[in-house]
């Protein structure tokens, strides 16, 4: 399921400008980092209709380079959420967000109407936020695209410790193999992990808390007040 949205957007090649004094060293405020990581969490409910899908991986793509964009927070371009239950094993949250942005920015009837060449250049102005560290497939896609930044919440080791089966290669280590690519992508991990961890803790631990807005039915976390579903439908 793809969610397309149009957001006023101006691409520039300017360096990031600090929104306030509390920045993370590259000109983006800590408040902005937290804002967008929470939006990555919220993408789950917006795309999947529940804040606690089993595969609770949400992403947002943000433009921090637009002058004055978003009152200093940056501008939202698009969102995505894991949808491997569609049968397509590649639709992780990051891939969904990239696909959505491609559709939005290249839409010939939309406000941006970027050509393929323009879109290839545009990724370098954008930051991808995701509530968990990307797997090697997604990290490779992010690196090939040439995003300005990758920002994630919970790391791979923490997910493995909670019972998730993961490929044991960090995004940072994978990026080290991409030195010959003409672009650079910075990595910032652990952002608001105290809030993202809860989205990945309940699936393999019957005693773990559900994310806010969810409660347990039959041992699984489901949206409070929503129709009860089987695990296979989550």
**pLDDT tens per residue across span 83-104:** 999 999 999 999 999 999 999 9
CA distances in angstroms from 142 to 32, 59, 181, 199, listed in the order given? 21, 12, 12, 23
98: nearest Cα among 41, 155, 142, 39:
142
In this structure, is residue 13 part of a structural domain?
no
In this structure, is residue 15 part of a structural domain?
no
What pLDDT sits at residue 7?
A: 37
In this structure, is residue 160 part of a structural domain?
yes
How many domains, in total, are found in the chain? Answer: 1
In the predicted structure, residue 3 carries a pLDDT above the cut 50: no
CATH number for the domain including 218? 3.40.140.10
In this structure, is residue 131 part of a structural domain?
yes
In this structure, is residue 6 part of a structural domain?
no
Query: First and final CA of the chain: distance in angstroms?
Result: 13
In this structure, is residue 102 part of a structural domain?
yes
Q: Which domain holds residue 86?
A: 30-233
In this structure, is residue 201 part of a structural domain?
yes
What pLDDT sits at residue 6?
A: 34
Q: What single-letter DSSP state applies at residue 209?
A: P
Strands 126-132 and 149-154: parallel
Q: Which residues contact 185 (CB under 8 A, 6 or more apart)?
A: 142, 143, 146, 147, 148, 149, 150, 175
**pLDDT tens per residue across span 172-183:** 999 999 999 999
* Three-state DSSP class for residue 205: coil
Which residue in the block uniquely carries the two structure tokens 């323009």?
Answer: 118
Give dist(CA 197, CA 233) in Å, integer.
22
What pLDDT sits at residue 19?
A: 32
In the predicted structure, residue 212 carries a pLDDT above the cut 60: yes
Strands 149-154 and 186-188: parallel
In this structure, is residue 96 part of a structural domain?
yes
């Amino acid at each position: 399921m793809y969610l397309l949205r149009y957001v006023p957007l101006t691409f520039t090649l300017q360096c990031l400008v600090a929104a306030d004094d509390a920045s993370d060293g590259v000109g983006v405020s800590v408040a902005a980092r937290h804002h967008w990581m929470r939006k990555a969490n919220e993408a789950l409910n917006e795309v999947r209709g529940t804040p606690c899908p089993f595969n609770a991986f949400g992403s947002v793509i943000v433009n921090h380079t637009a002058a004055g964009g978003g009152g200093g927070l940056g501008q939202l371009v698009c969102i995505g959420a894991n949808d491997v239950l569609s049968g397509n094993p590649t639709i992780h949250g990051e891939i969904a967000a990239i696909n959505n942005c491609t559709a939005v920015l290249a839409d010939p009837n939309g406000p941006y109407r970027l050509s393929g060449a323009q879109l290839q250049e545009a990724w370098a102005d954008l930051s991808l936020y995701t509530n968990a560290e990307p797997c090697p497939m997604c990290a490779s896609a992010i690196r090939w695209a040439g995003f300005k930044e990758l920002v994630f919440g919970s790391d791979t080791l923490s997910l493995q410790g909670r019972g998730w089966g993961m490929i044991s290669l960090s995004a940072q280590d994978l990026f080290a193999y991409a030195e010959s690519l003409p672009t650079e992508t910075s990595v910032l991990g652990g952002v608001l992990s105290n809030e993202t961890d809860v989205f990945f803790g309940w699936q393999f631990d019957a005693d773990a808390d559900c994310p806010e807005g969810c409660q347990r039915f039959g041992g699984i976390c489901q949206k409070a007040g929503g129709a009860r579903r089987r695990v296979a439908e989550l």
